Amino acid sequence: MKRLVVCCDGTWQELSSTYPSNVVKISQAVKPLGSDGVLQIVFYDEGIGTEDSLKSKLFGGAFGRGIDTNIQDAYRFLCLNYAPGDEIYLFGFSRGAYTVRSLAGMIYNSGLLSRSKIPKAPEAYELYRSRATNPDDKEMVEFRQKYGERVPITLLGCWDTVGSLGIPNLSPLLWFDKRINKRYRFHDTSLSPIIEHGLHAVSIDEQRKVFDVTPMDKSHLSPTQIVREVWFPGVHG
């Protein structure tokens, strides 16, 4: 048994940021071995728009180019490292919170692939994104039976999840963002029933429409799921 800790940061956030995010702090605070002697493996993913080129910084930050890659990178990490009995912890801030919540949804929808089936990850992702299917459709059930299975997620911890209407657009020049973001809207703000504990910290004073928070609602399919959403003074980072 081991613990797999996935940390996905917000836009323009990275390990070398002058003011590290809470996601960075968590990724650096997790010890290789827990106090109980359990192996703990951390995956940290920099936020969108952290690439070196100015073009990547502007367009990645403007409308989330690269979000598909971020989600699938974290998914592949879990596919490569997960074994039955392992505990999965997901942490994210802003668009990173969107990333880990989408990751949990993808695992519920498409299952977690075995190592030999990792080449199927893009297909698993597109099936998750499709609005023509739901997790219990015959197509999805057969996909999971053939390539992977649902696994429990011990904890999902988020700060200021965005994305209820798609990934927020930071540029007023991108008039086509609504068309692009239709693909990225949450299917449902309720958590997947495979999540055992959900924690959400939200800034109560944020007024900017672009950072509209996506609430964290308890799954009606999991009576034992524990969800706690707490609002704090302050604005989005």
Task: Write out the residue range of the structural domain in which residue 60 sits.
Answer: 2-232
Into how many domains does the chain fold?
A: 1
* 139 inside domain: yes
The predicted-structure confidence for 201-216, as pLDDT tens digits, reads as follows 999 887 766 677 889 9
The crossing angle, in degrees rounded to 10, of helices 95-110 and 121-129 is 100
3-class SS of residue 135: coil
* 33 inside domain: yes
**In this predicted structure, what is the pLDDT of residue 184?**
63
> Global pTM?
0.86
* 237 inside domain: no
Give the angle subtended at the CA of 224 by the CAs of 218 and 230, to the nearest 5°.
40
For 24-38, the DSSP string reads HHHHHH--SB-TTS-
* 42 inside domain: yes
**In this predicted structure, what is the pLDDT of residue 16?**
60
**In this predicted structure, what is the pLDDT of residue 178?**
56
* 90 inside domain: yes
**In this predicted structure, what is the pLDDT of residue 63?**
47
**In this predicted structure, what is the pLDDT of residue 38?**
98
Give me the phi and psi of 41, to 5 degrees please. Answer: -115, 130
Buried residues in 109-143 as b, exposed as e (16+ CB within 10 A): bbbbbeeebbebbeebbebbbeeeeebeeeebeeb
**In this predicted structure, what is the pLDDT of residue 58?**
46
Q: 191: which DSSP letter?
A: P
Instruction: Say if residues 160 and 96 touch (Cβ distance below 8 Å).
Output: no
Task: Measure the CA–CA gap between 128 and 111, rounded to whole angstroms.
Answer: 10
**In this predicted structure, what is the pLDDT of residue 127?**
94
CB atoms inside a 10 Å sphere around CB 40: 15
Weakly modelled stretches of the chain, pLDDT under 70: 11-17, 48-65, 164-188, 208-210, 236-237
Domain harbouring 124, CATH code: 3.40.50
* 144 inside domain: yes
* 47 inside domain: yes
Which residues neighbour 64 within 8 Å (Cβ) at sequence distance 6 or greater? 11, 48, 95, 167, 168, 184
